[in-house]
Structure 1
Amino acid sequence: MSGATAAEELYSAIEESARMVGASCSRDKVWPILTAFGEKLPTAMVVFSVLTGERNAGQLDFCFTIPNGTEDPYSHALRHGLVTATDHPVGSLLADLHAAGIDIAEHFIDCGAAGGFKKVYAHFPRDLQKVSALADITSMPPAVAANLDLFARYGLDEVAMFGIDYRSRTISLYFQFAPDRRPEPGALRSLLDEIGLPEPSEPMLEFARKSFRANFTLGWDSPKIQRVAFAPPLGPGLKIETIPAPVEPHIQRFATSAPRTYSGERMNLFAVKWMPAGEFLEVCSYYQISPSYEPVRLMAAHKEQA
């Protein structure tokens, strides 16, 4: 399949998914992204995602992988006019991560169906990084160093992925859990309380304790952690009706019926997110799976060991 054909098919799938969840979809925002990265799309992992809750209604995101050996996604996005150049540290952070010598296995870009290009992720599952070492990178938000003691108290040490949100000027640290070192509900409750996030429900604490990774969102303007998310392993055959959280009917339909290109059981991922506004569920449906997509292998192994 050519890149142009893959882009057209993916755009149609984004439109269909947006209609399914009542989200806006702007061809003017989406199409330039698909054409800029079109040659990567035939072999990319592609996932669609939505958040539960009224405040998140009308939003659909899509994310896809960018393999190594090509121009880094932020530089590529700049060159194609998908993002505006800035002298803020957010603009140099990806380059500084590369300069640190981290063995980045792949990148992802994350975009909104209505708003366009938002984030770049650097994924390094074979070269886990100490959060204390990442805090030393020059352009890193001071909030990372400010929270090192908190991370240490809760055994949050090794980072497997790093996200940079160019729109909100925030970063996300994705901590990796070994199967025998996943957080207990009591520790999760204490962590959320210490951060100042809303009181979690007991069922969602039990759900979160099965997590493969957790991510923490921080910015440059304050040491405060803005958001915490816990995600059990992705996989086939996950049932959204087993998630202990209210899920709107249109999101249930999305989880079971969103467009996809592969046969067999659908691949989903469900993550709980705690923000100042409350507790939400992120629902991800995989549109296309790449055989080389590292998390599929790692998460399968995680399930077996757990």
Structure 2
Amino acid sequence: MPAPADVHTVHAAIEEAAGLLNLPCPPDTVLPVLKAFEPFEGGVIFSASAGEGHAGDLDLTIQVPRAVTDPYAHALAHGLVPRTGHPVSTLLAELARHVAVDEYLIDFGVIAGFNKIYVHFPRDPQSVARLAALPSMPRALADHADLFARHGLDRVAMLSVDYRKRTVNPYFACPDGLAARTLPALLADLGLPAPDDELVESARKTFRTYVTLGWESSRIERISFARALDLPLVTARTEPEIVRFVTGTPYTYDGERFSISIVKWSADDTWFNVGSYYQFGPLQREVLGKVPR
């Protein structure tokens, strides 16, 4: 495996990616996070959202160094997240006690700052029931257990905790995607508008389906379907700078750039997120190597 990239190399790549979106890359937001979570031993991913009300930032997902065993405490010690008595502050520790964690990742925006911590456990996927039993987990996960089971969403391979918005995302593994009939039925059960056929065909090739849950209500705030990049669909339905971004970001590995597209649904909107890998970690290569293109 190549030597980990240094802070200045990664920062330069972030500046280049931000420029593709016509965004600044303020060092007082970006550098404190990079310095707190170096060295960059594994995955580094650029991502951006498209559509009115969703665009306007460049998000970075970075694998946490192996030496950092508690990324929340680490972020707290570096002043990246506020100290709080909310259950969002204890969920990560509960997960670590009950799940065989393969890796942690963080997410931050070049404008917004630190957002999330991801707990990735694809080799020890968890049932909804087991995760819902954690004391700090939002009640919404248990409340929708029957709905998830009805649509074959029963094995969670990753969970993210958003400290800024106080939400969580359970990521369901979908190694074979979803049946064409499943996706419209799932959206209907969630009370979401019916998608057109082109969106169904694209989104059903998902390798990870995830929902957004909070502590304040049992409502599923949105549902998202991640797949290998569907460039024709993204080109037809997003702004030109999103296409420029997802096809032009720098990357460090041999072969073609690997990118993903995510279709997101809420009660009010449908929009896209796109992501491109700057650097792979071994586990990401293993997981994404099985994703249909």
Q: 1:200 to 1:24 in 2, by over 3 A?
A: farther
Root-mean-square deviation (CA, aligned residues, Å) is 1.9
Instruction: State the distance in 2 between where 1:260 and 1:249 align.
Output: 20
How far the C-alpha of 1:263 sits from its partner, in A, is 3.2
Q: Deviations over 1:227-271 (max 9, x none)?
A: 111112x4xxx5612558512111111111112222321111111
Q: Deviations over 1:130-152 (max 9, x none)?
A: 01110000000011111111111
What is the letter of the counterpart of residue 20 of structure 2?
M
Q: Which residue of 2 aligns with 1:53?
A: 51
What is the letter of the counterpart of residue 266 of structure 2?
M
Relative to the length of structure 1, the TM-score reads: 0.90
Instruction: State the distance in 2 between where 1:23 and 1:277 align.
Output: 26
How far the C-alpha of 1:80 sits from its partner, in A, is 0.7
Instruction: State the distance in 2 between where 1:21 and 1:198 align.
Output: 30
Q: Which residue of 2 aligns with 1:286?
A: 277
Q: Which residue of 1 aligns with 2:115?
A: 118
Q: Deviations over 1:203-228 (max 9, x none)?
A: 11111111111011100001000111
How far the C-alpha of 1:190 sits from its partner, in A, is 1.8
Q: 1:83 to 1:2 in 2, by over 3 A?
A: farther
Aligned partners of 1:53 and 1:280 also within 8 Å: yes
Q: 1:245 to 1:230 in 2, by over 3 A?
A: farther
Q: Percent identity?
A: 42
- Which region of structure 1 is more displaced relative to structure 2, 160-169 or 50-59? 50-59
How far the C-alpha of 1:23 sits from its partner, in A, is 2.6
How far the C-alpha of 1:172 sits from its partner, in A, is 0.2
Aligned partners of 2:122 and 2:157 also within 8 Å: yes
Q: Which residue of 2 aligns with 1:207?
A: 202
Q: Any unmatched runs of 5+ in structure 1?
A: none
Q: 1:24 to 1:222 in 2, by over 3 A?
A: farther
SS at 1:54 equivalent: coil
Find 1:217's aligned residue among 212, 215, 219. Answer: 212
Aligned partners of 1:198 and 1:279 also within 8 Å: no
- Which region of structure 1 is more displaced relative to structure 2, 43-52 or 132-141? 43-52
How far the C-alpha of 1:124 sits from its partner, in A, is 0.3
- Which region of structure 1 is more displaced relative to structure 2, 10-19 or 27-36? 10-19
Instruction: State the distance in 2 between where 1:92 and 1:13 align.
Output: 33
Instruction: State the distance in 1 between where 2:128 and 2:66 align.
Output: 23
Instruction: State the distance in 1 between where 2:171 and 2:118 align.
Output: 10
Q: Which residue of 2 aligns with 1:303?
A: 292
- Residue 140 of structure 2 is aligned to residue 140 of structure 1: no
Instruction: State the distance in 2 between where 1:231 and 1:2 align.
Output: 29
Find 1:89's aligned residue among 68, 80, 87. Answer: 87
Q: What count of residue pairs does the alignment treat as equivalent?
A: 292
SS at 1:57 equivalent: coil
Find 1:153's aligned residue among 124, 143, 150. Answer: 150
SS at 2:181 equivalent: helix
How far the C-alpha of 1:107 sits from its partner, in A, is 0.5
Aligned partners of 2:103 and 2:121 also within 8 Å: yes
Instruction: State the distance in 2 between where 1:75 and 1:245 align.
Output: 43
How far the C-alpha of 1:153 sits from its partner, in A, is 1.2
What is the letter of the counterpart of residue 43 of structure 2?
M
